[in-house]
């Protein structure tokens, strides 16, 4: 495990990160990175671990730097006392790799950080992977907590607030939604919106997930992953990977509101201003998707997650969003700029 903070200081996504580590093992074809955005005395930095097929080490470094910074802001927005961190593991090019060995090795390195970094699941990491990690480190949280479910609840609350802001009514029945990604959060979100009477368009690169949704929910329309963001709807919900709001897709959106679970939806921060100029109401991802983090932190603090405690804190999401929208109207600024003002007042 190599400390490489000094080597990434010139990276565009570097933000004075406290620690950046490179984890490497040729024997099992292993490369991973852990970034700790800020380190507070006596407090761990929290963030999930992502397992993904990155094109290059630089792509993995970019992701871990951005996501760890985002986790700091997410914690602040949720009223939690922790700083942000993130782990990313590069999917080995050798498709015959031993998954258990890989996660055991990764967990042993997490353990060597002596509690500076506490992690859980993110994209590509399963509960079985988490079980393996727990055998090699005590600094794992979230096992046994359905964080995607609580993220979806926070999104549902945020969607209602966004509808009220744009249309003057928080009623979901009759409104149209396109949902990109049917994973840990997108799947329960489909259920919540369907049962509330929404018209739904869905997509996922995993055909099995699409088939399950089709079998459970009648009248849901399946759209290709390439076109889901182009559908004419009231609300677009990106619940897959980062960067879905970029300079190309900006011209293709045909929606009034964007609110979803994906982290780092904006490929560039200036896109928040451009969405504002186009009249598209954007709900900042690190605020509205904080339900998952809230749920695993509740388990971390109390040993066992309690739904009532979690929902009480998740209810903070629409409250903060109301403050953000109020500032947006008053100052005619983007929601991202307004949210940073609101968060600054909470520090």
- Per the document, the length of the chain is 347
- Known catalytic residues are 86
Closest CA to 160 of 320, 318, 325, 329: 318
CA 78 to chain centre: 13
Closest CA to 233 of 256, 217, 213, 250: 256
Question: Which of helix, strand or coil describes residue 298?
Answer: helix
Tokens 């029945």 correspond to what residue?
173
Closest CA to 66 of 250, 265, 245: 265
CA-CA distance, 118 to 139, in Å (whole number)? 5
Count Cβ atoms within 10 A of the Cβ of residue 187 and give its class: 0-12 exposed, 13-18 middle, 19 or more buried: buried
141: left (phi over 0), alpha (psi -120 to 50) or beta: beta
């Amino acid at each position: 495990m190599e400390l490489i903070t000094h080597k990434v200081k010139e990276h565009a996504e570097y933000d004075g990160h406290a620690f950046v580590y490179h984890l490497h093992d040729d024997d099992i074809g292993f490369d991973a990175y852990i970034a700790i955005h800020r380190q507070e005395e006596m407090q761990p930095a929290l963030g999930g671990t992502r397992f993904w097929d990155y094109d290059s080490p630089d792509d993995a470094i970019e992701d871990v730097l951005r996501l760890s910074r985002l986790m700091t802001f997410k914690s602040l927005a949720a009223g939690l006392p922790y700083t942000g961190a993130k782990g990313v593991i590069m999917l080995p090019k050798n498709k015959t790799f031993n998954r258990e060995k890989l996660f055991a090795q990764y967990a042993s390195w997490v353990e060597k950080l002596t509690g500076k970094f506490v992690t859980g699941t993110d994209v590509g990491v399963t509960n079985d992977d988490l079980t393996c990690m727990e055998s090699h480190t005590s600094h794992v949280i979230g096992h046994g907590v359905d964080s995607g479910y609580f993220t979806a609840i926070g999104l549902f609350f945020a969607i209602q607030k966004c509808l009220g802001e744009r249309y003057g009514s928080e009623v979901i029945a009759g409104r149209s939604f396109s949902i990109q990604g049917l994973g840990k959060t997108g799947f329960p979100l489909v259920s919540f919106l369907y049962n509330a009477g929404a018209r739904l368009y869905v997509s996922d690169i995993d055909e099995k997930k699409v088939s399950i949704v089709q079998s459970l929910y009648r009248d849901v329309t399946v759209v290709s992953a390439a076109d889901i963001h182009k559908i004419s709807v009231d609300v677009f919900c990106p619940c897959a990977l980062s960067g879905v709001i970029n300079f190309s897709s900006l011209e293709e959106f045909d929606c009034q509101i964007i609110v979803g679970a994906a982290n780092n939806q904006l490929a560039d921060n200036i896109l928040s201003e451009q969405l504002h100029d186009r009249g598209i109401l954007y709900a900042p991802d690190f605020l509205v998707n904080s339900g998952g983090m809230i749920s695993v932190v509740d388990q971390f603090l109390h040993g066992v997650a309690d739904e009532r405690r979690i929902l009480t804190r998740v209810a903070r999401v629409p409250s903060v969003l109301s403050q953000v929208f109020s500032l947006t109207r008053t100052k005619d600024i983007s929601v991202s700029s307004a949210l940073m003002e609101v968060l600054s007042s909470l520090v």
